[in-house]
């Protein structure tokens, strides 16, 4: 039987929250819609979005990742890598045929990830100062 537990050292739930919230905003997806797409309850999504440190099952992170258009292990990798994005990236269908579009998208993804990491750092600093 699965029981919830607190945060584990080395897990960065704040980074997970930051990237989930950013992706939801970018895709204009609300909690209800993401819940329907992922099969994850709204209350669990809310906890993930707030970086509450509640340990959710890996299959929950997988479902959210998939619903947001990421590889299945994307959120798990962020959780365990102190806010850095996983090394692998799936190329988008639009980029597959046009090298110029692919390069532009790659640069945008890199920049977006840099911004995400900075935001996660700012959020951590604010949380530590409270």
Residue 33 belongs to some domain of the structure: yes
Residue 101 belongs to some domain of the structure: yes
Better-predicted residue by pLDDT, 5 or 42:
42
The alpha carbon of 24 is separated from its chain's Cα centroid by a whole number of angstroms, namely 9
Residue 8 belongs to some domain of the structure: no
Residue 50 belongs to some domain of the structure: yes
**Residue 37 token pair:** 């797409």
Whole-prediction pTM value? 0.59
**Structural domain harbouring 28:** 13-129
Residue 25 belongs to some domain of the structure: yes
Residue 34 belongs to some domain of the structure: yes
Number of domains the chain is built from: 1
Distances from the Cα of 111 to the Cα of 26, 85, 101, 116, angstroms: 14, 12, 15, 9
Residue 2 belongs to some domain of the structure: no
Place of tokens 């309850």: 41
State pLDDT tens for residues 51-97: 876 678 889 999 999 999 999 889 988 988 754 554 444 444 544 56
Helix ranges (H only) for the chain are 13-27, 31-38, 42-49, 58-67, 74-80, 93-96, 99-129
CATH code of the domain in which 54 resides: 1.10.260
């Amino acid at each position: 039987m699965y029981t919830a537990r607190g945060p584990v050292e080395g897990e960065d739930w704040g980074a997970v929250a930051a990237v989930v919230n950013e992706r939801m905003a970018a895709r204009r997806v609300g909690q209800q819609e993401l819940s329907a797409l992922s099969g994850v309850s709204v209350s669990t999504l809310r906890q993930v979005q707030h970086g509450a440190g509640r340990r959710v099952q890996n299959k929950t992170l997988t479902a959210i990742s998939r619903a947001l258009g990421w590889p299945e292990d994307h959120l798990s990798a962020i959780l365990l890598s102190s806010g850095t994005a996983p090394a692998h990236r799936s190329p988008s269908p639009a980029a597959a045929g046009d090298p110029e579009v692919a390069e532009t998208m790659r640069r945008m993804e890199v920049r977006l990830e840099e911004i995400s990491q900075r935001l996660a750092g700012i959020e951590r600093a604010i949380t530590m100062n409270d």
